[in-house]
Chains A and B, each alone.
Chain A
Amino acid sequence: MNKLIKLLVFVFTLAPIFAVAQNNDANKARGGKFALTNAKIYTVTNGIIENGTVIINNGIIEAVGANVRIPADAEVFDYKGREVYPGMIDSGTKLGLQEIGSIAESKDFREFGDITPHMQALSAVNPNSVAIPVTRVSGVTTTLTMPEGGVLPGTAATINLFGYTPDQMYAGSKGVVMNFPSAQRRWRQTEEQAKKARETALKTVNDAWDKAEIYAKIQNSPDTRYYPEMEALAKVVNGEMLLYIEVNTAKDIVSALEWIEERGYEKVVFTGVAEGWRVADKIAKAGISVIAGPVQSLPTRQSDAYDAAYKNPSVMQKAGIKVALRTSDTENSRNLPYHAGFAAAYGMGREEALKAVTINAAEIMGVGSSIGSIEVGKKANIFVATGDPFETSTQIINVFIDGYLVPMTSRQTELYDEFLHRVPGTQKNTVKTDG
């Protein structure tokens, strides 16, 4: 009897506590030493290992191969033929900078003014954005998070989608963003107005960069006053930082190529590049890499083929340009694999499309030595899938970011769990209300 009471006390008081404790742990990420074994490994840079093992230790990929010895103290995941990939990289989002599209107070990607290159996207990234877990459980482990707005809206940052401070998320790459002045007429603009607007914008751009070039020469002199805008641009002038140039129409792309040649800046990437297919040979000749997308988008001209946007990345890749892909999205950056799938279907092929969302992206951002493929010494940004991640029926089983095994839950999965079979259903005491 006494025993029974003790048992009952245990069941009703302590057992629930254990259950809760365990539950909490399931919702937490954890680091450590992991062995991912019996998996088909898509290394991206060194081919496919049909049945291999990846060892993750302290955030780093320690070993990869078909015959890797599993350390005794490693936690073993036997994947039984499932597929292991490097985490996907979305090379253009506002993830972390926007929570709800229609609410100004939840948007931090746009600052007042035309020339604000010193605005740091990284500082405004909200590590607790609800959209971050929603994105990473789909295998997107890294994003380029970009400010928007004027001519030089700020500095973009590459972030890993796990961490509790921006610094814990930072993936080691930043770049100044520039919107290249467009010769394109805006809505309700006359030719004349458009021309003038473009000349003004181009003058603003050139004035800023002229100043920056001077500043770069004198910035170490003790008399130079604090000038954060120029400090940011000088890093580009000195070749220390990337310059992301958003440019889309064929005419603007050609102008931007000329502008770059004149300026001689080294680390330049074109983003958007919606009409890149029209001038792909010119971009290739200049040796400029591009971040293209969204792939699932409309053609830029009424007269274009219906699939012009789907084919754009593949045309550029075949011309010899290094192509990475972006969703240009925030909450639906999780659709990156489907943008890649469309690019693959419309000419790029699966292998190149996979590179465009992994190693190409990493290399373009200058972090190709630390992420973008499954190689010894790289950061363990890895996901495990039931099959081809570009296919919608594929499920993502596990995600590792910086070597942390992150929980496979998000608010969207939690709502599913709660509401698939809601309790109570319609059978609850309801009070009939008037009206």
Chain B
Amino acid sequence: MKQFNMYKTIFLTALLLLGATVAQAQVKKGDVLIKNGTLLTISQGTMENTDLLVKDGKISKIGKNLKAPNGVEVVDASGQFVLPGIIDAHSHIAGTSINEGTSQVTAEVTMEDVVNPLDISIYRAVAGGVTAINLMHGSANVIGGRNETLKLRWGSTNPDDLRFEGAPRTIKFALGENPTRGGRARGIQPQSRMGVEAMLRNAFSDALVYKKAWADYRADKNKRKVAPEYDLRMETLVDILDGKILVHSHSYRADEIYMLMKVFTDFGIKKLTFQHANEAYKVAPELAAFGAMASVFADWWAYKLEVYYSTAYNAAILTKNGVTTSINSDDGELIRHLFHEAAKTQKYGDLSDDEALALVTLNPAKQLGIDHRVGSLEQGKDADFVIFDKHPLSTYAIPQRTFIDGVKYFDIDTDAKDQRIFIDPESSIEVVQIFNREDQHKCMDDADLVYLNDLLNNN
């Protein structure tokens, strides 16, 4: 019997390993030599006429006059600029649904389950030099679902191929107008920023009780002990308390940003990035003191009351006050020119080239806990990068080639017009969609039905 168990264990382990190998094998890793480019390394300044050698998906060497090993493709980047792959710390592309708004706390759900590798937005983002995104849950509730960090490996129909293997877990929180709108629509808490705070404190207090119940159970020597009820929602909150999950909180106004830092201080939670954070500039010294980070728009404002007192100088003020800041898109159009969005911080606040470029490379990598893997051009890091014809902070710069793990996913010279990998067999005529910027705020997607009620009862 015992022997059988052992064989079973070995068999299962082997099966698991095989499974893991198969899953890993599907993610392609490339070898390539980029010759004579201007390398914008972000972490070690700019290197002109420099080569970058990629081996098995990793940057194996940076230097002059590197030789390509046998059979390795050489890309001439003379006169061109090599930037680490752009990382969008706030995106909703490649997701089949965005909001689980049935409760004000839905920490048990995860965007991992709704990754859509067929979304054409992925290719369009790659064509804009983006290599990784934070696929975020929406902002309809105070504690939303977990997000999923993705690499934009376009072309596969398997969602698993897009996962950023090894990236830490992150979760979406939301403060202010969006969750309170939900509360008003359903006649429940929260309907005010006071209610949002109370809800957060209640949730983490519950999580502490849950954590203690399990700790007591594990410490209990009694053989007839009974386990507490397993609760994925509470498990997730406990992992946040233990620093295993990074919090990304939708927020706009300075007061709510300050509030969340106080709540987190009280519960000992440290890993915190504010998303949108249009008024973060007002409490920049407090953010710096807490060690909180901010992921903001370059210049979006005035689309609702809580962003009326915004300034396009937000990112510059935060950066100059020592806050690790990124610029995100939250949008399938804006994501295509994040390099240009970053460049706006030179108009609004005079950031240096390195400071501006870090906003869409190294800094978002830090916010997602993946900066040891991506975000700068360094030996040993993943070979995720984009080649531009002109300096990426120029409005006239056009991305030419985008690589992820050393594999080319976009090449302007061989770019076929129709890049779809899925065509709806039921649609006889192709749908024409006229772009409307005001439809681009995806944070409240899927939550709309709730607000029909809101419209009727709004007062």
Of the candidate stretches A219-227, A237-245, A290-298, the one touching chain B is: A290-298
Residues of A within 8 A of B337 (CB): 296, 342
Q: State in angstroms the CA–CA spacing of A26 and B158 once bound together.
A: 61
Q: Mark A325-337 against chain B: 1 for CB-CB distance below 8 A, else 0.
A: 0001111101101
B299 & A332 in contact (Cβ 8 Å cutoff): yes
Give chain B nearest CB distance to A396 CB in angstroms: 9
A249 & B434 in contact (Cβ 8 Å cutoff): yes
B282 & A419 in contact (Cβ 8 Å cutoff): yes
A298 & B333 in contact (Cβ 8 Å cutoff): yes
A305 & B432 in contact (Cβ 8 Å cutoff): no
Q: State in angstroms the CA–CA spacing of A422 and B177 once bound together.
A: 26
B395 & A306 in contact (Cβ 8 Å cutoff): no
A346 & B398 in contact (Cβ 8 Å cutoff): yes
Of the candidate stretches A58-66, A99-107, A371-379, the one touching chain B is: A99-107
Secondary structure of the A contact surface, majority rule: loop
B281 & A392 in contact (Cβ 8 Å cutoff): no
Q: Mark B115-132 against chain A: 1 for CB-CB distance below 8 A, else 0.
A: 000001001100110000
Q: State in angstroms the CA–CA spacing of A337 and B432 once bound together.
A: 27
Of the candidates B289, B317, B398, B430, the one whose C-beta lies within 8 Å of that of A345 is: B398
A301 & B433 in contact (Cβ 8 Å cutoff): yes
Residues of A within 8 A of B395 (CB): 337-338, 341-342, 344-345, 390-392
Q: State in angstroms the CA–CA spacing of A294 and B417 once bound together.
A: 21
A415 & B393 in contact (Cβ 8 Å cutoff): no
Give chain A nearest CB distance to B179 CB in angstroms: 15
Query: With A102-B305, A332-B300, A420-B313 in contact, is A274–B396 under 8 Å at CB?
Result: no
A420 & B304 in contact (Cβ 8 Å cutoff): no
Q: State in angstroms the CA–CA spacing of A92 and B124 once bound together.
A: 26
Give chain B nearest CB distance to A88 CB in angstroms: 14
Indicate if A23 sits at the interface (CB-CB under 8 A).
Answer: no
Give chain A nearest CB distance to B304 CB in angstroms: 4
Residues of A within 8 A of B430 (CB): 301-303
Q: State in angstroms the CA–CA spacing of A186 and B145 once bound together.
A: 31
Of the candidate stretches B7-15, B57-65, B341-349, B373-381, the one touching chain A is: B341-349
Q: Mark B249-280 against chain A: 1 for CB-CB distance below 8 A, else 0.
A: 00000000000000000000000000000000
Indicate if A83 sits at the interface (CB-CB under 8 A).
Answer: no
Of the candidates B123, B302, B312, the one whose C-beta lies within 8 Å of that of A100 is: B302
Residues of A within 8 A of B398 (CB): 345-346
Secondary structure of the B contact surface, majority rule: loop
A415 & B281 in contact (Cβ 8 Å cutoff): yes
B302 & A416 in contact (Cβ 8 Å cutoff): no
A301 & B127 in contact (Cβ 8 Å cutoff): no
A275 & B346 in contact (Cβ 8 Å cutoff): no
Q: Mark A383-397 against chain B: 1 for CB-CB distance below 8 A, else 0.
A: 000000011111100
Q: State in angstroms the CA–CA spacing of A335 and B303 once bound together.
A: 16
Q: State in angstroms the CA–CA spacing of A395 and B349 once bound together.
A: 10
When C-beta atoms are compared, the residue in chain B nearest to A329 turns out to be B437
Within 8 A of A (CB), among B285-318: 285-286, 289, 299-305, 308-313, 316-317
Q: Mark B418-447 against chain A: 1 for CB-CB distance below 8 A, else 0.
A: 111000000001111111111000000000
Residues of B within 8 A of A304 (CB): 417-418
Indicate if B284 sits at the interface (CB-CB under 8 A).
Answer: yes
B344 & A185 in contact (Cβ 8 Å cutoff): no
Residues of B within 8 A of A305 (CB): 415, 417
Q: State in angstroms the CA–CA spacing of A100 and B281 once bound together.
A: 20
5 tightest A-B CB contacts, nearest first: A341-B395, A297-B435, A101-B303, A331-B302, A416-B313
| Residues in chain B within 8 A of chain A (CB atoms) | 120, 123-124, 127-128, 177, 197, 201, 281-282, 284-286, 289, 299-305, 308-313, 316-317, 320, 332-334, 336-337, 340, 343-344, 346-349, 393-398, 415, 417-420, 429-438
19 example contacts (A-B, Cβ-Cβ < 8 A) are as follows: A99-B308, A102-B177, A131-B302, A297-B333, A300-B432, A328-B436, A331-B302, A338-B340, A344-B395, A391-B394, A391-B396, A392-B343, A392-B346, A393-B393, A413-B311, A420-B317, A422-B282, A422-B284, A425-B285
